[in-house]
Structure formats: C-alpha cells, structure tokens
Copies of this chain bind each other. A is one copy, B any other.
Amino acid sequence: MEYITGGICAAKGFTASGVHCGIRKNKTKKDLALIVSEVKATAAATYTTNLVKGAPIHVTKANLADGTAQAVICNSGNANTCNANGIEIAEGMCALVEKHIGISKNDVVVASTGVIGQQMVIDPIADAMEKLKANLGENSKDAAHAIMTTDTKLKEIAVSFEIGGKKCVIGGIAKGSGMIHPNMATMLCFITSDVAISSELLSKALKDNVTDTFNMISVDGDTSTNDMVVVLANGMSGNAMITEQNEDYEAFAAALHAVSEHLCRCIAADGEGATKLLECRVSGASDNATARIVAKSVICSNLFKAAMFGADANWGRVLCAIGYSGASVDVDKIDITFKSASGEIMVCQNGAGVDFSEKTAKEVLLRSEIIIDVNLNSGDGKASAYGCDLTYDYVKINGDYRT
C-alpha cells in the first residue's frame, strides 16, 4: 500500500468540484461541494446515532437504500436541521444534481453542515450549479475546502494498492468539528474507490472500519445531528468483483482502514481549539470492546484533556477515567506510559505511581502528538481512540455569540 496524491479524485472515474455559492457570507470560503463518479457506484454509509437528525441524513438514507449512488452534494454554512422545509431542500439539492449533471436524483448523497434550526433557501445552490459543474475535475482540494467549517486544515488522503494485479485506489476527504457560527461538531467524510466490491461487503467493510476509526474520535463528546461517512466504490479499477471475505477483501479493508485512520487523526488534531493530537492506545484488555471503552473514556475526560493542554503528567486522571469507564478492568494491573517524538516515560505501574522525572515528562508532553499508552495486562484486546486537548480556544470558539 502506498500513499498517493489526488484525494477523492485519485480513484479512476471520480471528479470533484467546490465553489462559493453564497450560503456563507465570506466570499473567499467555498461552501458547496460536488463529487461525481463516471459510472454508478456501490455505496455504503454510516450516520449519526443522534435522535435529532438533519434532513439530509433522511434523504441520503432513502437514496442509498438500493446500495448504489453516483454523486455527492454537500453544503457548509447551514446544517439544514430542525427546519420545517428541510426534506424539501435536501431533495431539491438532489434534483439539482439530476438537472445539471444528469445523474438520477435517487443516486445522490446529500449532506449539510452548519448552524441548526436556521431557515435555509435553495436559491444560492441552484444559482451555483453551472459553476459547480464547470469546475468538475481533479479538484479534490476544492471539495475538501468547501465542506470545511472552522477546520483550520484541509483533510484529504489517498492510497493505492493491488488486488489481483490491478492497481486500486481509495481516497477520502473529511471535515471535523467547528462552525464559524458554532453549533454542531459535525463530522463528514466522503471516500471514493475504484474497487469492484459487492454492496454487502462494502457495507461490512465500512461498518467494521468505523468501529475502530471514526467512532473512536472525540473532540468534545457531543454527537452531531449530521455526522455521515460515505464510501462509493465504482469498480473501474477492473479487479474481479469482491464478493467474499477473501484476501482481496482484506486488501480493500486494510486500505480503507489506512484512509480512515489518517482522516481521523486529522480530525482529532484539528478539533476546535486543539493544540495537540492525543491517541490513547490501549492493549492487554480482555477483548477489543473493553479496550475501546477504556480508550474512549480517557480521550473524553475534560480533566485529562486540560492536563494535556498544560503538558502536565497527571496520570491520576487517566487512571480515574479508566475507573469510571464502565469497563471491567483490574485496576491493580494497569501500566501507563506517555510517549511522543521526544521519547517515553512510564508514570504508573500496577495501578500505582512510579518515581519519574517531571522534567522528562514535560518534554514528552510538550510535543504536538501524544500517545497515552495504557496496558491493562489482562489479555490480548486492543484499541486506539483519538482526541485533542481542551484549551482556552475551545471555550472561546464555543462561547462566542452566534450573532
């Protein structure tokens, strides 16, 4: 597997576009993205589990019921959620793709991110469709830019790998948490591939993958109303259709995991106000599910996140978060080590503190990527969770008035 450029346009048959249509007032900020596959693609998606769901979630679910799609349209600046005419607008966006791009409205994935409960009109999108169409090309970055909100960095990735001698590609773009008018930490990710794979296995690969990647990110513990991860696989690489969990499937799943993990790390590192990427890497759990619960509890602890902002080796907060996680663990067996590019330092062994140099610990924790290595010493289960520190800027971004 090799990391390549091109993002969501790296896979055969995919083009993308991103323009400013006017939902946002700032004219330098693109706010409308389009992704198109030359041919109809197998499609799978996972959605927010929040009972409050954006209208685009409902429309996309209906359109993906047959397991296929050919385009993605997404706006930023308005979440189209809790609006009386939300469904009408979301369906209208799909109809605009049919009208201007010639792809059936039932084969369109629609997504929105922004303020919720704010009236939305479709006119700016309708007016921009020809410009959006004209921009279609190798423009993964334009699309990635258009879905950003308060993200400070564009998030895209692509990998190439082989299946039965055929070069295959998976690429993706994503957006993380934050809004210029902050409201919801919406997470969106669009993944494209030229692999030929059955609808069932694509769904399975995505579902298995999300458990260990996107569902293991936490910026602030708030699950948005509009979260969506979509993967389109159009089969244009020419590989023999993957219809069973053989080695071809494993190759696809591994590449999907690499793309997802990269985007997750980007999203966590670029969380609202974040100065550090935190990875809690749990091993020695009785099973993977236990490891996931422990890792996520640590990464979600406000107290621990604030300590990381202060580069404070406050391991007691890690132990505390493990203790209230709900996972069944033997506290007296827990080892904790902090790691970064500066080195590593063990701070807790068998559930009790060990003597360590505060100076060395500080050096380790002043880096921008910190691994909190937790060994439960009780089995082979493992998992990683991704988060960020809790900073003054998180409070500032989210405490500001909307108006």
* Chain A residues engaging chain B, CB cutoff 8 angstroms: 49-53, 81-84, 115-118, 182-185, 220-225, 300-303, 306-307, 309-312, 314-317, 319-324, 329, 331, 348, 351-353, 358, 362, 390-392, 394-403
Contact = CB atoms under 8 A, between A and B. Distances in A.
A51 B329 contact: yes
A250 to B, nearest CB: 33
Nearest to A219: B302
Contacts of A311: 401
B82 A319 contact: yes
Given A52-B319, A52-B323, A395-B395, A118 B222 contact: no
Copies, count: 2
A147 B395 CA distance: 29
A196 to B, nearest CB: 36
Contacts of A352: 82-84, 117
Contacts of A317: 183-184, 222
Contact of A312 (B118, B300, B391, B399): B399
* Interface of chain A, main secondary structure: loop
B225 A310 contact: no
A323 B51 contact: yes
Nearest to A306: B398
A117 B51 contact: no
Nearest to A398: B306
Contact of A398 (B52, B116, B303): B303
Nearest to A79: B316
B390 A51 contact: no
B395 A316 contact: no
A309 B403 CA distance: 15
A401 B310 contact: yes
Nearest to A300: B221
Given A302-B394, A306-B398, 5 more contacts: A117-B315, A183-B317, A222-B303, A307-B398, A394-B395
